[in-house]
């Protein structure tokens, strides 16, 4: 049986369409023709971090990819296709990797437990831990350690985005996209720009992963 919560979705949708058409009667016709978003957002699947709502970006403004713990791995055809499409065809100006404090994926990766199939996915976060082992082992406060791993995971995933040939080629040719690391804080709703130095990171990445 469909619950009230379920039915409410379609009622809301009807109201939303009516409301948007009232403000701009051609909106859906225009959107049906094309999309021209400036941003690609790669974030966590967590229900508490909805990309459009936390950024205030409207329908058509944000190309979105979400997975557990906002990972960018080179053997994931899904995220790699999203990045290539966003860069080569949509010509986005910014690619954002957005992690969040309180991330269940990060938390699970720090536990010495097995989670079945998920272990393969979480291993990417454990790899981040291994890369930054010395820094992370210094933490005695578990919450602070989790927060730092969340930040370092965002940095490493930004590097994984920059490693792709699509991003490097487009940046050299067009001067975009630039890659940004953000953190969303579940505790207060605040969105934090980590201000990653894109040019410096790109230069460093190109020393090893130069794909002209």
State yes or no: is 48 an active-site residue: yes
Matching residue, tokens 């490493």: 156
State yes or no: is 100 an active-site residue: yes
Question: Residue 132: how many CB atoms within 10 A of its CB?
Answer: 17
Our finding on whether 103 is near Co ion (CB under 5 A) is yes
The catalytic residue among 44, 65, 147, 158 is 44
- Which CB atom, from 96 or from 103, has the smaller least distance to Co ion? 103
State yes or no: is 46 an active-site residue: yes
Give, in degrees to the nearest 5, the angle at Cα 39 between 12 and 131. 115
**Candidate ranges 21-29, 101-109, 139-147, 190-198; the one touching Co ion (CB under 5 A):** 101-109
Our finding on whether 183 is near Co ion (CB under 5 A) is no
Residues in the chain: 212
Our finding on whether 156 is near Co ion (CB under 5 A) is no
- Do the beta carbons of residue 66 and residue 45 sit within 8 Å? yes
Q: How far is the CB of 126 from Co ion (least distance, A)?
A: 15
Our finding on whether 46 is near Co ion (CB under 5 A) is yes
Our finding on whether 158 is near Co ion (CB under 5 A) is no
**What contacts 105, CB < 8 A, 6 or more positions away?**
44, 68, 69, 121, 122, 125
Q: How far is the CB of 137 from Co ion (least distance, A)?
A: 23
**Candidate ranges 17-25, 97-105, 127-135, 163-171; the one touching Co ion (CB under 5 A):** 97-105
Region 106-125 residues binding Co ion, contact defined as CB under 5 A? none
- Do the beta carbons of residue 110 and residue 132 sit within 8 Å? no
State yes or no: is 98 an active-site residue: no
Q: What CA dihedral angle connects 178, 184, 190 and 196, to 10 degrees?
A: -30
State yes or no: is 38 an active-site residue: no
Our finding on whether 44 is near Co ion (CB under 5 A) is yes
Please, what sign has the CA dihedral across residues 76, 111, 151, 128? negative
The catalytic residue among 103, 147, 158, 180 is 103
The sheet with strand 191-193 has its strands ordered as 62-67, 39-44, 94-101, 178-185, 191-193
Q: Mind telling me the catalytic residues?
A: 44, 46, 48, 100, 103
- Contacts to Co ion by CB under 5 A: 44, 46, 103
């Amino acid at each position: 049986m469909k619950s009230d919560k379920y039915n409410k979705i379609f009622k809301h949708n009807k109201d939303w369409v009516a409301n948007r058409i009232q403000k701009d009667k051609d909106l859906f016709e225009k959107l049906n023709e094309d999309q021209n978003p400036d941003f690609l957002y790669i974030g966590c699947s967590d229900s508490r971090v909805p990309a459009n709502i936390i950024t205030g970006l409207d329908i058509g403004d944000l190309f979105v990819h979400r997975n557990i713990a906002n990972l960018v791995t080179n053997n994931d055809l899904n995220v790699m296709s999203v990045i290539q499409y966003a860069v080569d065809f949509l010509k986005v100006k910014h690619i954002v990797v957005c992690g969040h404090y309180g991330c269940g994926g990060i938390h699970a990766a720090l536990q010495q437990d097995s989670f079945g199939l998920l272990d393969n996915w979480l291993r990417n976060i454990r790899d981040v831990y291994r890369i930054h082992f010395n820094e992370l082992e210094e933490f005695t406060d578990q919450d602070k350690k989790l927060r730092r791993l969340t930040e370092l995971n965002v940095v490493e995933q930004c590097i994984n985005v920059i490693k792709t040939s699509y991003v490097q080629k487009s940046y050299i040719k067009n001067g975009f996209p630039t890659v940004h690391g953000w953190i969303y804080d579940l505790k207060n709703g605040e969105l934090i720009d980590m201000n990653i130095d894109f040019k410096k990171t790109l230069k460093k990445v190109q020393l090893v992963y130069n794909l002209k």
